[in-house]
A and B are shown apart, each in its own frame.
Chain A
Amino acid sequence: MSNGITLSRLFGKSPFAALQAHMIVVLECAREVKPLIEALARGDEARVMEAKDRIFEREAEADRIKNELRLHLPKSLFMPVDRRDLLEVLHLQDTIANTAQDIAGLLIERQMRIPEFMHEPLIALTARCIDTCEHSASVIAELDELLAMGFRGREVDKVDAMLKELNDIEDETDELGVVLTRALFDHEDEMKPVSVMMWYRLIEWIGDLADYAEKVGDRLRLLIAK
């Protein structure tokens, strides 16, 4: 039946569907950081562990999809986008999940207690960083439409506008991060030095969620421009 399947052999697995599936899992992973920090602020141990488990589980799933996509991307595939750009977007998406996992790991392994003064600004920063991820995911969701349009025309304008918005939200997270860092600086003397160090690192990592989300968008721009 060889002739019969010549046509079906012509099609590789769509890398875009896999990229989108990966991003959805990454987003589910990042989203859990907010309930994790909220539960930690409340001292709700059970909820903390629940959020942590979910983050670890989603991160593992993201890894699985990532590896599978990489395996199914032989060099003989002819794609409308550059293979390296595609793999780079995948890598950046995956870094978001890794970062979420690092955050959860550090918070729990060091049994960090969130000082009262940090509650509100920390949750605000986390929420906005997750917004950035949400936004980045909605840009990735436009890949089908971009493909239908051959990465040209109105759809590109639309995605450009979304990317601009993504950059704006990321800028906001930078500001929220600065606010939180200042507050931490003001309270440094009341805290153990190592804790202070760890909180600086954690604030940076939470900001990284938004950073990588923005980088996903920037890299997508290159992908479109080919």
Chain B
Amino acid sequence: MEIITEYGFVFMVLAVIFGLYMTWGIGANDVANAMGTSVGSRAITVKQAILIAAVFEFAGAFIAGGNVTSTIRKGIVDPSGIAGQPEILVFGMLAALLAAGIWLMIASSRGWPVSTTHSIVGALIGFAIAGIGPDAVHWGKIGFILASWVISPALGGFLAYMLMMSIRKFILDTDSPFESARQWGPFYVFLLGFIISLVTLFKGLKHLKLELSVPLSFLTAVVFGLIIASIGWMLIRRVKVDPEADRDYHFASVEKIFVPMMIFSACSMAFAHGSNDVANGIGPLAAVVSVVKSGGEMAQQSALPLWILVLGGGGIVVGLATMGYRVMGTIGTRITQLTPTRGFSAELAAAATVVLASRTGLPVSTTHILVGAVIGVGLARGVGAIDLRVIGGIIVSWVVTLPAGGILAALIFFMLKGMFG
């Protein structure tokens, strides 16, 4: 207990620094994937993508980032075995943050497709086992999280497949695809706004002191969907047929209609990403702050302070603006096979899946879900060539990341314990 009173401020500062480092890394690495699709189809420029990301990553973290943060903060490690030693939890959370950050740095420099989510979860488990004991891990919850890492990309793929099929049925396979696209385009935008806002609103705004009843959630989602659908309708109306391009590729004008629609899917991806991934950085930070502020109380009943969400959102934006934009440019030029109709399907499917996971409090990998969604489009026979070696890489990175993050976290934990304890 004395350690907390003595070094409380130091711990807070360390937690903020490590947390910022993590969120900065998330912004530098992950966001590019989330939005690269829209950049690749030239719906938005890299600069616009950064602007959109700045607003919507932040909004996602702030409005819908609470549940996953809560899971990372108190859903994985059970501190009841260290009653009276709150500093153990503080060391552990600091160690987990630093370990995940270091592991990500190593993996990135080697070019491994490692997920921030997996790193932090692995690190938390590692600390819990080493610092408290195997019983201190909520294995049931871990089971759910692991299952979600398999299920979420599959769900993303399924949704993307269905969306692609519906776009074909209602738009491409009609007498006048361009006219059909003009009619159905706003509907898809509505669907996007409706799903994302419904999942977010549905009993999801407690931390903002805003609890909507079920009918009111639906009503708000419908209204929100209609608002952005009408913005979409105005943008779509301005798209003209391009006979020159159509001669070469008959669906060129249809694709042009989906270009403004990809602005919306980019926004929803940024929102979804913010809502899920910000937790990786600020969950442990929130845990440290809670323990220190309460003078050693580990129950963590206090609500998540808003300034921490703000900090997390800000870290992501800074990461994107300093490093992430370069990656985004690279992706943009490399994924030209993902035309606007395909990109829209993949992004909407991925965003919906991620937001659903965020709402449920499950930390998932946005990148892996997007990969799943693209494969879903491919299963609908819609992509020329998908390199399945990436999936192998992803699976290997899972298997390696959990123990690597865990061992690193354990080492750093004992180091911190030695330094302060």
Contact = CB atoms under 8 A, between A and B. Distances in A.
B133 to A, nearest CB: 32
Contacts of A153: 168, 172-173
A64 interface: no
Contact of B367 (A7, A144, A152): A7
Contact of B330 (A5, A79, A145): A5
Interface residues of A, number: 37
Nearest to B387: A12
A147 B382 contact: yes
A10 B390 contact: yes
Interface stretch (B190-198, B301-309, B333-341): B333-341
B390 A4 contact: no
Given A16-B384, A79-B384, A148-B251, 20 more contacts: A2-B29, A2-B111, A2-B112, A3-B33, A3-B113, A4-B29, A4-B33, A7-B331, A8-B330, A9-B113, A10-B386, A11-B335, A14-B384, A14-B385, A78-B388, A80-B381, A80-B383, A148-B339, A151-B381, A152-B168
Interface string A126-164: 000000000000000000110111111111000000000
A6 B385 contact: no
Contacts of B389: 9, 76
Nearest to B334: A8
Which 4 pairs, one residue from A and one from B, show the smallest C-beta to C-beta distance? A4-B327, A14-B384, A80-B381, A12-B385
Instruction: Identify the interface centre among B29, B112, B251, B381: most chain A CB within 10 Å of its CB.
Output: B381
B374 A10 contact: yes
Contact of A5 (B37, B327, B374, B382): B327
A144 B115 CA distance: 34
A77 B32 contact: no
Contacts of A152: 168, 173, 381
B324 interface: yes
Contacts of A3: 29-30, 32-33, 108, 113-116, 367
Contacts of A9: 113, 387, 389-390, 393
A145 B113 contact: no
A13 interface: yes
A1 interface: yes
Interface of A: 1-17, 73-74, 76-81, 144-145, 147-155, 226
B20 interface: no
Contacts of A154: 173
Contact of A6 (B110, B339, B367, B386): B367
A23 to B, nearest CB: 14
Contacts of A11: 334-335, 337-338, 383, 385-387
Contact of B388 (A77, A80, A144, A149): A77
Contacts of A148: 168, 172, 251, 339, 341, 382
Interface in B312-354: 323-324, 326-328, 330-331, 334-335, 337-339, 341
B194 to A, nearest CB: 26
B277 to A, nearest CB: 11
Interface string B164-177: 11001000110000
Given A3-B115, A4-B331, A6-B33, A149 B173 contact: yes
Interface centre among A10, A12, A150, A155 (most CB of B within 10 A): A10
Given A2-B111, A3-B367, A4-B33, A15 B385 contact: yes
A77 B387 contact: yes
B383 A5 contact: no
B164 A150 contact: yes
B371 A7 contact: yes
Q: Which of A3, A4, A11, A150 has the most CB of B within 10 A?
A: A3
B249 A144 contact: yes
Contact of A8 (B114, B250, B324, B331): B331
B40 to A, nearest CB: 8
Interface in B259-314: none
A123 B112 CA distance: 60
A148 to B, nearest CB: 5
A145 B384 contact: no
Q: Which of A7, A13, A16, A145 has the most CB of B within 10 A?
A: A7
Contacts of B331: 4-5, 7-8
A43 B374 CA distance: 59
